[in-house]
Amino acid sequence: MSSTPDPQPMRWTKSTHSGGDGGQCIEWAPDHARATGEFLVRDSKDPNGPRLALTRAGFAGLVQFAKRHG
């Protein structure tokens, strides 16, 4: 059985809490989160690197942390 590649690449969005200087940026995949409930996060400087998969509650906690410490 072979799998077919996804016809559309995953859309990533930069966090509004990332620094504007291009240094400390994270991105997340909102369409993937809506479709699966899995919140993927990655380092924008390393788009092919590892991804962190979070639950809705875990992602909300990350956003709150960024607001407090950003």
Residue recorded with tokens 């942390």? 65
The reported pLDDT for the residue numbered 67 is 84
The pTM (predicted TM-score) of the whole model is: 0.75
Cα–Cα distance, 33 to 63 (Å, whole number): 15
pLDDT tens across 1-53, in order? 444 455 568 999 987 655 555 566 889 999 999 999 999 999 988 999 999 99
| DSSP per position, 9-27 | PPP-EE-TTS-TTSSS-EE
Single-letter residue type at 55: T
Q: Where are the domains of the chain?
A: 13-69
Residue 59 has pLDDT above 60, yes or no: yes
